[in-house]
Amino acid sequence: MEVQRASRSRLSAPAAPAEPKLAIEKFADGPITCLRFSGTIDEAFDGKKLANTVECEALVLDLGGVKKISSFGIREWVDFVNAACARAKQTVLIECSPKVTDQLNMVANFAGSGRVFSFYAPFRCDYCDSEHRVLLDVAKDFEAIKSMKLAERPCPTCRESMYFDDDGATYFSYVIGQGGFELPAEIVHFLAAKLDYRVGSLDGKLRVDKVIEGRITYLRLTGDLNNTFQKDKLAEGLEGTVIVDLAGVPRVEPAGAASWRAFVQQVSPLVDQIDLIGVAPAVLERICTKEDLGAKVAVLDFALPYACETCGTTSAQSIEVVSHAEVLKFATAPDLRCPTCKNALQCTASEALMTILPGLPKPTVTKDLARQIDELKSRKLERRTANSPPLAKSGETPLPRRGIAPVALGFAALAALAVVWLAYSRSHATPSGPYKLGPVAGRSAPARPAWIGTGTLGSVTCSGAACVGVSLPFASQEEAEDDASDAAYEGVAYAVAGDGWLASIAPQLVETRAAALAAVQRDAQSAQARRDVSDGRHAVARLFKRSAPPVAARYWESYDSPDGKRFVAFAKVELNAAEAKRLAGSASPPSHSLGATVVDLQPELGWRFPKLDHGAIVTKLEPGPLQDLGLAEHYIILSIDGHDVADAASLAKLALEEYTLLSNRGGTLRVLVQADTGEPREFSTTIQPATVVQVPSHTGRQTGQAGTPQPPGGAVNVWDRYGGNRGSGRDDPTQ
């Protein structure tokens, strides 16, 4: 399973050509640093030079993107990994690609003193003749790895069974010899927050540690805030000042957010105040709005993502509300310096996150309270397993969180030169032509059509169900036309869906779209902001134009810019009244199944989930099997027992068939869903077969365990306790 991650700053390998063979991304947070490698490792990789930039307690090497390693590249890599391991107290290799695994099995010291936590295994499907990679980790999969017999898995392409396609004795030899282990909690949380990498322990039940000191109750939460949050047990007996440490909570799911709000309402009359510390960006956005905090809840400190353009390091910086209240009230991030190179940092938080900042009340923190909080935070409360090593070596005290050592001068100089060159090229652009790109060099028609209007670069202008998209400037005419048509299609999709209806089925969707567009308006030169908008529009257009008419009109112009020829394209998409009515979001007919009301997947969800192309959105949940599983409203149901859910209607049919079958025969019901954040998650439960009791034949009927009238053929009625109507004669008992 491939892992999606947030965007990061990128450092190229030492001898940086226009398109480097090897890209290296760097992330740091206190004592932990991650280096992510993508591309080809060959003689151009200066391993010793890169190793000299490593100065941390724990080093994570992400090798999922390594496609090839040359003979000379192996030599440079071994030099790097041995030198880097000597500078770090602990080294972990994650997502090792098959090419890396092959070298681990053949080359001595290829991992240095590091240990492999996860790696990809090659799988093959003979039904559709496709090959795939499956990620395994030594914490939860070691027994299967040791047996060298991996179970068959559903093919992502055709859903038929695919099998492990290599020799187990050879492919697993290094990992078996190394042995299994679990990651320390510090690294687990780092991977979740920085790389959106889900380690098994994070998918389990939320853990709470509790310490009482006088009038202060300290609660430390670890894991995702989801439906396992037991608010009633936690609220019992709380009084005085409550400190909730959320540093170990990387994600908040809708069910967890609802439980948290109920918890706050429940305990507010009983306590003096509730102070939140260590709040991650995703947590701040989900449960720290002005309405969520209320009168007694305050955020003392939280994290914001920052990036350094000079040394390429991304990091989460802790912000104290008391110290920066005057800046935060204007929805502005504090000005901070890079802990590595001391240059100015750039806040990379989303627009939606920044809108939370003005609503944070300025808390009252006495010196005594601050001292007590520091003492409670420093306590080691984690319950580690026997083979889960501490972050520091045996006999050593973990060092305090601090920045990493300076990155090598070569990287900093290269980044600085790039910034200078970019500023120079922008300042010397020719201020002529309609978009200040230079004089018009060519056009697809003798004159610009009247339907274009006065749209700016990258914009979309709509009138009813007709939208005109204007591309950003591209070096290719084809790219410009694609960008313009994507903008037009997305504009029409949003217009006919309606923001009010979209907000009712996916509350975070409208915010995500608005934040992406606002970021471009705020800084039209930001490559990241422009890419976010382009990717979002493309994802929406890919889904919407399946059922929408083709582009009604196109036009393009080329310009002689200082950077060479640039194209700007224009596209018009128009729906007639019947098409607009058919494609309107509210026209999506709801379906009902196992207690859930669902509607079709909407194209606008491409802003949040660009890879989704099927599913059904849960708009309402009532008592039933899906609610019992732990699903929540606004989840997108992707598959049931490995069968893809195409739309709302197919979900109703598929869910009934699968649940009825399992209730008759017994088995496990598996539902794959996409929540508001993170990777798709599977919910499952075991269903025991019902017992059919025969009654005297003169009645002409059969009854189940509770004497419920049965459908023809003796099938057990499994839906009655979830709202079915006995004796109603309805064809679809899930309605």
> For 562-597, how does the pLDDT look when each residue is reduced to its tens digit (9 = 90+)?
778 889 999 999 999 888 888 886 777 789 988 899
**Residue 174 pLDDT level (bands cut at 50, 70, 90):** very high
**pLDDT at position 706:** 40
Which residues, including other chains, have CB under 8 Å from residue 242's CB and lie 6 or more apart? 216, 217, 219, 267, 271, 273, 274, 275
Q: Worst-scoring range by mean pLDDT, 123-127, 161-165, 184-188?
A: 184-188
**Residue 698 pLDDT level (bands cut at 50, 70, 90):** very low
Averaged pLDDT, 209-223: 85
**pLDDT at position 429:** 42
Quote the percentage of the chain above a pLDDT of 90: 22
CA angle 625, 630, 632 (to 5 degrees): 100
Side chain identity, residue 528? Q
DSSP 537: H
248: helix, strand or coil: strand
**pLDDT at position 194:** 59
- Rounded CA separation 102/188 (Å): 26
Averaged pLDDT, 112-129: 92
Please say if the pLDDT value at position 309 is more than 70.
Answer: yes
Strands 297-299 and 273-277: parallel
Please say if the pLDDT value at position 100 is more than 90.
Answer: yes
**pLDDT at position 195:** 60
- Rounded CA separation 481/470 (Å): 9
Please say if the pLDDT value at position 656 is more than 60.
Answer: yes
Q: Which of 287, 195, 204 is nearest to 246 (CA)?
A: 287
What the chain holds in terms of domains, given with CATH numbers, is 10-189 (3.30.750.24), 199-378 (3.30.750.24), 440-583 (no CATH), 619-722 (2.30.42)
- By the 10 Å C-beta count (0-12 exposed, 13-18 middle, 19+ buried), 379 is classed as exposed
Q: Worst-scoring range by mean pLDDT, 57-71, 375-389, 630-644?
A: 375-389
Please report how the helices 527-544 and 507-522 are oriented relative to each other, as an axis angle in degrees rounded to 10. 140
Please say if the pLDDT value at position 490 is more than 50.
Answer: yes
**pLDDT at position 369:** 86
What's the sign of the alpha-carbon dihedral 390, 393, 394, 398?
negative
Please say if the pLDDT value at position 469 is more than 60.
Answer: yes
Averaged pLDDT, 167-182: 90
Q: Is the Cβ–Cβ distance between 615 and 637 less than 8 Å? A: yes
What's the distance, Cα to Cα, between the start and end of the chain in Å?
Answer: 35
**Residue 391 pLDDT level (bands cut at 50, 70, 90):** very low
- Rounded CA separation 27/348 (Å): 14
Q: Which of 642, 709, 631 is nearest to 674 (CA)?
A: 631
102: helix, strand or coil: helix
Q: Which of 638, 655, 634, 546 is nearest to 591 (CA)?
A: 655
Residue showing tokens 């709005």: 289
Radius of gyration of the chain (CA): 28
What's the sign of the alpha-carbon dihedral 301, 303, 308, 312?
positive
Quote the percentage of the chain above a pLDDT of 70: 81
Which residues, including other chains, have CB under 8 Å from residue 226's CB and lie 6 or more apart? 206, 251, 252, 253, 255, 256, 630
348: helix, strand or coil: coil
**pLDDT at position 558:** 92
Q: Is the Cβ–Cβ distance between 459 and 483 less than 8 Å? A: no
Please say if the pLDDT value at position 374 is more than 70.
Answer: yes
Greater model confidence, 618 or 6:
618
Tokens linked to 618: 């849960």
CA atoms within 13 A on the CB side of 323: 10
